[in-house]
Structure 1
Amino acid sequence: MQESFDIVSSSGSYAVRIGRGLLANVVDAHRDAIYLVDERLAHLLPEAAARRVLIEANESRKSLEAMPEVILKLRELGANRSTHIVSIGGGVLQDIATFAASVYMRGLSWTYMPTTLLGMADSCIGGKSSINVLGYKNLVGNFYPPVEVVIDIDFIRSLDAEQVIGGLNEAVKICYARGAQSFADYLAEGPAWPLPPETAQRLLTRSLITKKWFIEIDEFDRKERLLLNYGHTFGHALEAATQFGVSHGVAVGLGMLVAIDFAKRGARLTQTGASHAEALGRHVSAMTDIVVESGVRWPKVDLTAVLQKFDNDKKHNTEFYRVVVPVRDGELELVSIARNDDTRAALRASYEAVFSQLGIDTAVASNVA
């Protein structure tokens, strides 16, 4: 059984379909398309998807410096203004496809099939690309939604615990950002590892319909949608400082934990708010424990490098850090905090507290940027 709904955007509505066995349907509908595909998934493509650009899906490929190679391959495969692009892969492929489709000959139509739970639960809708530049994460990008998003739940079978938990972290972030009832409804769906297809479909539908509200009320990240950066500013710094040795979804989870600790240190929460935020913290910590139990080893973390990356985040301005944290009764808010030594000391203390709790080694490592 499929779920489907539409997302309304300024460039027109686009459909979202969620179900099983949908890859063959997409290829049948787009035999003449050019496929941008995670090279690890190439063996899953039917032969009818003949024009392919295989991409090594890692952060170095999701960069402005790597984009000319992708654009040149589109040219070599004969892409013109009427060519349709189908992107199959996780968030890296989505960012590459969004950016390339938007600039090639001033814009090509495209379809996105997310293959990671992180992509399925969050980034597949909203039409936003983020591209790294010279080591700075997500420094440039644009908005260019696909004409359709097709989520084939069968791809989840290829994911390990770390990848599934990373996606669940993004899903719970969205639902928490919408409010206490949305968060409670999400937990009632039973997010867990392993993730059965029926549970996955319910969780994905709930997460995406919740995000749909943010997208449609604030398409271009001016107000409400900014709350979905919760966990990201803190998490991006950890990703970058470990040369992406901590995966994005796991880093977002850790970022939420740091944000909760930072809010409590700043006395931003009422007793009710602290209880609400701590419920999220317990859930994220339990998910993180599953990642560790699966055999993932934390890289050594240079905390000074983390704080340096945090300091350079593009969302800050010259006088203030701009971060999303829980406030008052636990609701999220984008706050401005003075860039001074007291703030930096509080940030360091929050990172240290979370890293200590999770057993992350903060000794300086020679291979950390």
Structure 2
Amino acid sequence: MSDSSRTLVINSSTGSYQVTIESHSLRKNLLHFSKAKILADEFFAPVLADLASPPLLIRAIEENKSLDVSPSIIEGLRQSGANRQTELVAIGGGIIQDLSAFIASIYMRGLTWSYLPTTILAMVDSCIGGKSSINVGPYKNLVGTFHPPHQVLIDPALAQTLPPDQQASGLIEAAKICFCRGPEAFDRHIALLPSVMMETGALEALIYNSLEAKKWFIEIDEFDNKERLLLNFGHTFGHAIEGATHFAIPHGIAVGLGILCAITYQVADGIDYSSSPRVALLELHLAEMIANSPGTPRALASMSADEMFQRFASDKKHGTEDYALILIDQAGKVVLHRVPKSPEVSNKVRAAVESVVGRFRG
């Protein structure tokens, strides 16, 4: 560990693990895994070409984050000689992480795994917490497990390989986490002037701030029963939009749109945010980030409103008789509301989405 690195220790039910944030550390980190089996985004094939053990390479697309694809990866691990003592190392963004965490949790009843995230979204959010989410058929994130990593090694310099919309996608997730944590975390986030192609030192600080904010949620509620559920802010609306556009919109951009839908829903329901200026600041920041996704207007213009609502209604967080909506109350605090299912509520949901889509579809 160099003097310029930042570290964070995450406590879980299976023990603690360390997160290390250090720029330009990827090649050095790879030296620690000479005997491990590596599952990586195929984008990094040139970087991994000289490894002693050939990596399993996956195209990082949403269609591959599925229960249908998982067996071929498991077979590949077995054919490469992976056993119960093997460490699995994941190199990539959220799709590679979900697949790796899921497979590590079930392969021979569980492997140790480490993670080297390569997208801002994974660096600021999903790299800690140990949660995997796998798609089944048309249903997003229907199955998964909790299986914390052994360690997380973050190289923020890898963000330079990302297009602007992917950078913005991650910065939106960081803003969401910090807003959910509270005013101090969100103010620190905004003070770092988050933007695409931001200076690496500022990005390191932003990653640390976001992970420190998320650490509170996953340590107090590791298995997603109460407080951690708030981190789904923007996801119920966002997943519906993401799916209805057939994943033409990056995940974080969809979450940003989903947060704006949640705010619009509340305003239409009579909530006045004039005494909560951070809500307006959040809206402005999200709009600036969404503007970095040039394909979003076209994807929204072709989105089916009926398919969007069908996906919204089938979200796994809902109950039999109610919708689980994560909203901002009048005081500016993120809260979970259980709203009884009714035609009136359905119309409010549709109207909120239509209002936000109308702003961004051009």
Whole-angstrom CA distance in 1 between matches of 2:216 and 2:181: 9
Whole-angstrom CA distance in 1 between matches of 2:266 and 2:359: 17
Of 105, 117, 120 in structure 2, the residue corresponding to residue 117 of structure 1 is 120
Q: Is the 8 A contact 2:273 2:279 kept in 1?
A: no
Matches within 5 A, 1:214-229: 214-229=217-232
Q: Is the 8 A contact 1:35 1:49 kept in 2?
A: no
Q: Is the 8 A contact 1:65 1:133 kept in 2?
A: yes
Report Cα offsets for 1:110-168 as digits up to 9, x if no partner: 11011011100100000000000011100010100110000011211100110000000
Say yes or no: does 1:290 pair with 2:292: yes
Say yes or no: does 1:349 pair with 2:356: no
Say yes or no: does 1:328 pair with 2:330: yes
Say yes or no: does 1:318 pair with 2:325: no
Report Cα offsets for 1:264-301 as digits up to 9, x if no partner: 1122445314x432221111011112333xx6653111
Matches within 5 A, 1:111-260: 111-260=114-263
Say yes or no: does 1:279 pair with 2:281: yes
Q: Alignment length, in residue pairs?
A: 357
Specify the code of the residue in structure 1 equivalent to 2:285.
H
Residue aligned with 1:227, SS: helix
Whole-angstrom CA distance in 2 between matches of 1:349 and 1:181: 33
Of 80, 105, 108 in structure 1, the residue corresponding to residue 108 of structure 2 is 105
Residue aligned with 2:334, SS: strand
Specify the code of the residue in structure 2 equivalent to 1:277.
V
Report Cα offsets for 1:322-363 as digits up to 9, x if no partner: 010001211000101111110011111111111111135xxx
Give the corresponding residue for 2:10: 7
Q: Is the 8 A contact 1:27 1:49 kept in 2?
A: no
Whole-angstrom CA distance in 1 between matches of 2:212 and 2:77: 33
Q: Is the 8 A contact 2:171 2:194 kept in 1?
A: yes
Residue aligned with 1:334, SS: strand
Residue aligned with 1:13, SS: strand
Give the corresponding residue for 1:364: none
Say yes or no: does 1:25 pair with 2:28: yes
Specify the code of the residue in structure 1 equivalent to 2:153.
V
Q: Is the 8 A contact 1:110 1:146 kept in 2?
A: yes
Give the corresponding residue for 2:266: 263
- Unaligned runs of 5+ residues in structure 2 are none
Whole-angstrom CA distance in 2 between matches of 1:180 and 1:21: 32
Specify the code of the residue in structure 2 equivalent to 1:276.
R
Say yes or no: does 1:56 pair with 2:59: yes
Whole-angstrom CA distance in 2 between matches of 1:26 and 1:184: 32
Specify the code of the residue in structure 1 equivalent to 2:319.
N
Normalising by structure 2, what TM-score?
A: 0.96
What's the % identity of the aligned pairs? 43
Whole-angstrom CA distance in 2 between matches of 1:185 and 1:125: 20
Root mean square deviation of aligned Cα: 1.3
Whole-angstrom CA distance in 2 between matches of 1:47 and 1:306: 45
- Unaligned runs of 5+ residues in structure 1 are 361-369
Whole-angstrom CA distance in 1 between matches of 2:291 and 2:192: 20
Specify the code of the residue in structure 1 equivalent to 2:65.
K
Q: Is the 8 A contact 1:42 1:54 kept in 2?
A: yes
Residue aligned with 1:240, SS: helix
Matches within 5 A, 1:48-87: 48-87=51-90
Give the corresponding residue for 2:38: 35
Q: Mark the CA change 1:349 to 1:297 in structure 2 (over 3 Å): closer, same or farther.
A: closer
- 1:320 deviates by 0.4
- 1:66 deviates by 1.0
Residue aligned with 2:178, SS: helix
Whole-angstrom CA distance in 1 between matches of 2:117 and 2:252: 15
